[in-house]
Structures are given as C-alpha cells and as structure tokens.
C-alpha cells in the first residue's frame, strides 16, 4: 500500500498541476476524470493484468481437462456399482473442464454448463472423480465476481442440480449423509470466493480513499500557495489605494506616489504568481523559471511591505546559509503571511522580524503590537502556515508574545528533513 500511495501521489501531483495550469482551482475538481481520459505519462512496461488472468484461466482449464482424461481409466476400479466410463462420460468431463475457460468473462453461464455437465455425469452413474474440481472452480468464479446475494442464488441452484443424482446413482451415500459431498464442493469454494471478493472491495475502497486524500492534499497545497502570493499582493495594494483615496484632494503628489507603489506591488505579485505557477507546472524548462521564493529574497519582501506603509525592524542571527528548497520556501511564506496579516489587520503599522540560523534548524518570527492578541482566532492563512511547517517536521505558534499586548508568529523548521 505504501508503494501504491507514493505512485499515486506522483500521478495526482502531475495531474493536479496540469489541471491547475489549465483551469485554476476549478480545473482540479475533475482531476480524476482528467487523469483517466487525458493521461499522457507512459505506463510502466508491465504485462497487462487482464491478459495475464486470461492466460491463467486457460491454463487452469487445460489442467482440469487433462486431469479428467488421465484419471478416467483408473476411477472405474474404485467401485463395481458405478457406470463404467465411456465416451459420454469423457465428453462430460471435457465439457466441464473446458467451460471453466470462460469463467472470467461469463461466470454464471460457466457455472450453468459445469453444474449441468456434472449433474448429468452423476445421474448416469459415473464414479465420483476430478470433475468436481471443475465445479469448485466455477462456483468460486461466481462467488468472486458476482454480488454475494446473487452468487448465493446461482450456487444454490447448482447445489440443487447435484442433489438429483442421489435418486439414481447407486454409489451415492444414503440419507442426509449423501448431501455432504455436494454441499462441500459448493460451500467451500463459495466461501473462499466471497471472502476474496470482500477483501478486494475493501482494498479498492482503501485505494479510493487514499486517492481522495491525495487529491485534497494537493488541492489544498495549491490553494495555500495562491493564497500566500495573491493575499500578500492585494493587502499591499489595498493599503496604498486607501492612502491614495485619502490624500488625492489635499496632496495629489502623495497620491501619485501611492499609485506608483500600487503599480510596483501588483507587478511583483503577478511575477511571483507566475513563478509559483511555473514551479508547479510540469514540462517547463527549469532555466526559464523565475527564482523560487526563499529567505534570500527577504529584502524584496521587506521593501514591498515598507512601501505599503509598514515599518519593519529585522534582525538576522547566525550564519545565513543555503537551505533545502522546501525549508527555504516555508520560512519565506511564514514571513510573508505574517507580514500580510500585520498590514491587513493591525492598527499599529510596525513589525519586528527575527531570523535565526541554527545548526539543525532555522527559526523565524514576526511580532507586532496588538492589544487584542488574547482574542486571536486562527484563520486560513495561519492554518496554512502551520500545515506547511508541520509537514516539514517543524512547529509554529501564533498568539500572545512574551510581552503584554504583542502578537507573535514563530516558526521553527528543521533544516535536515
């Protein structure tokens, strides 16, 4: 199951990214149908399972026919009261064994042919023999491939046909004991077939649930990426637009500066959005993609929020170093989302940022004055930050800081993940 989940994660990752590129979030809704209909990845060079099953079915049929033909001359010696084996008996054995070759495609007609041949075989009085193996295979096929209730009806009908020989076959056991052989040859393979069907259905449900979870997780990841990029850009644009509206009559030059800041913020947000979409779109040349956001681009992020009117005090401790892409992106997104929340929600346009490089982890924090810090409720942005950090084995806290009236977001992310 673990290997299956990994394989399906890769498949759904590619499918969802293509669906996103084509139709955004709505394009991801029909990803399962898209994956079935438009899948372009080459399949692994494996033999098709249906052809393997078909060959196995034919092999089993040949074995059953050969077993009946080989044992036919010897079963006459088991008892003197049975009908001696002749051409008709051999024909019934061959018919029952050969019919099992159809069990995968037509399990019910196969059972009808095998049960009828076996019943005639016993009614005529031929001795018990390997023909029962063909009956067991046919019963198993019906139980394995048909719903349990329907399979039970067909197998009960086959059992009824077998009981007819108790009236004519002199070798049949007397009384209720005579029911046991026919019951065993029907009940045991039926039970095994139903059990195998239930196990297969449970596995299929588990795989479907795993697929659904993977689709939901990938869809949520893309939504968080877009939320972080678009939300940050729109927050900066909104603040500058409010400034422009406020001063347009009294200080037109200041309104012009605000519009310039809006233009820069929108251009930078669009560029980062294109970079994010390029990163999740398969088939693009890596050299043509924009740089992936990371702590190396913190100065750009700081400049954008300062242009939006937020004062930022930043402190970096430790030796800055190259981080893995996942850790670098997660740390950057935490800073971006936390600063966006300050711009959007805080009445005090000032933030204090700390970035600490440690031997085995990197820690980032954003704090600002917030008198109502105790009444904080996590929103979509903070929930997304926490998921992103915890997915890498880290920890994120968001709430009142060490000082009174301060709200702090702090994330600690292992650098060895």
pLDDT band at 78 (very low <50, low <70, confident <90, very high): low
- Share of residues in the chain with pLDDT > 70 (%): 68
Residues 6+ apart with CB under 8 A from 359: none
* Residue 334 lies inside a defined structural domain of this protein: yes
**Which residue, of 114, 141, 172, is where some domain finishes?**
172
Please tell me the distance from the alpha carbon of residue 88 to that of residue 92, in angstroms, as a whole number. Answer: 6
What CATH number is given to the structural domain containing 343?
Answer: 3.30.565.10
* Residue 21 lies inside a defined structural domain of this protein: no
Q: What is the pLDDT of residues 2-55, one digit of tens each?
A: 555 455 555 555 554 555 444 444 444 444 444 444 444 444 434 445 555 678
DSSP code string of 339-393: HHHHHHH-SS-EEEEEEEE-SSEEEEEEEEE-TTGGG----HHHHHHHHHHHHTT
Supply angle C-alpha 58, 62, 67, rounded to 5: 150
* Residue 410 lies inside a defined structural domain of this protein: yes
pLDDT at 210: 84
* Residue 375 lies inside a defined structural domain of this protein: yes
**Which residue, of 133, 150, 172, is where some domain finishes?**
172
Q: What is the pLDDT of residues 145-188, one digit of tens each?
A: 999 999 999 999 998 888 887 766 665 656 556 677 788 888 99
Residue with the bigger pLDDT between 140 and 405: it is 140
* Residue 139 lies inside a defined structural domain of this protein: yes
Q: What is the pLDDT of residues 343-361, one digit of tens each?
A: 777 778 888 999 999 988 9
Beta-strand relationship, 395-400 and 311-317: unpaired
Backbone angles phi, psi at 397, to 5 degrees: -120, 145
* Residue 32 lies inside a defined structural domain of this protein: no
Number of structural domains (the chain) is 2
On whether the pTM is more than 0.75, the answer is no
Backbone angles phi, psi at 134, to 5 degrees: -65, -40
* Residue 177 lies inside a defined structural domain of this protein: no
* Residue 114 lies inside a defined structural domain of this protein: yes
**Which residue, of 151, 172, 193, is where some domain finishes?**
172
**Residue numbers of the domain that contains 103:** 49-172
CA dihedral 207, 213, 214, 218 (to 10 degrees): 170
């Amino acid at each position: 199951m673990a290997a299956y989940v990994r394989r399906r994660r890769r498949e759904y990752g590619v499918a969802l990214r293509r669906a996103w590129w084509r139709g955004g979030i709505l394009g991801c809704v029909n990803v399962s149908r898209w994956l079935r209909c438009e899948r372009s990845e080459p399949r692994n060079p494996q033999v098709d399972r249906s052809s393997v099953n078909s060959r196995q079915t034919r092999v089993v049929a040949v074995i059953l026919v050969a077993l009946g033909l080989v044992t036919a001359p010897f079963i006459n010696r088991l008892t003197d009261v049975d009908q001696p084996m002749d051409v008709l008996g051999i024909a019934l054995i061959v018919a029952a064994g050969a019919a099992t070759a159809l069990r995968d495609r037509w399990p019910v007609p196969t059972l009808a042919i095998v049960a009828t041949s076996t019943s005639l075989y016993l009614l005529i009085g031929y001795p018990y023999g390997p023909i029962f193996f063909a009956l067991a295979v046919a019963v198993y096929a019906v139980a394995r491939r048909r719903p349990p209730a329907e399979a039970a009806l067909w197998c009960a009908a086959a059992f009824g046909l077998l009981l007819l020989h108790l009236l004519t076959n002199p070798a049949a056991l007397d009384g209720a004991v005579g029911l046991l052989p026919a019951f065993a040859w029907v009940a045991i393979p039926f039970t095994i077939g139903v059990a195998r069907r239930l196990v297969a259905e449970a596995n299929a449900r588990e795989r479907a649930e795993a697929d659904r979870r993977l689709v939901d997780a990938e869809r949520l990841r893309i939504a968080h990426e877009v939320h972080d990029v678009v939300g940050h850009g729109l927050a900066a644009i909104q603040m500058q637009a409010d400034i422009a509206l406020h001063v347009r009559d009294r200080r037109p030059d200041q309104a012009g500066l605000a519009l310039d800041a809006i233009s820069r913020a929108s251009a930078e947000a669009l560029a980062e959005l294109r970079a994010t979409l390029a990163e999740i779109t398969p088939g693009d040349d890596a050299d043509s993609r924009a740089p992936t956001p990371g702590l190396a681009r913190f100065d750009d992020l700081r400049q954008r929020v300062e242009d939006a009117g937020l004062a930022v005090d930043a402190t970096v401790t430790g030796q800055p170093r190259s981080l893995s892409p996942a850790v670098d992106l997660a740390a950057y997104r935490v800073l971006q989302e936390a600063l966006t929340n300050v711009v959007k929600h805080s009445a005090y346009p000032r933030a204090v940022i700390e970035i600490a490089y440690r031997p085995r982890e990197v820690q980032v924090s954003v704090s600002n004055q917030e008198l109502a810090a105790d009444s904080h409720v996590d929103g979509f942005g903070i929930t997304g930050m926490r998921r992103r950090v915890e997915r890498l084995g880290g920890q994120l806290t968001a709430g009142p800081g060490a000082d009174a009236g301060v709200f702090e977001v702090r994330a600690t992310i292992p650098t060895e993940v």
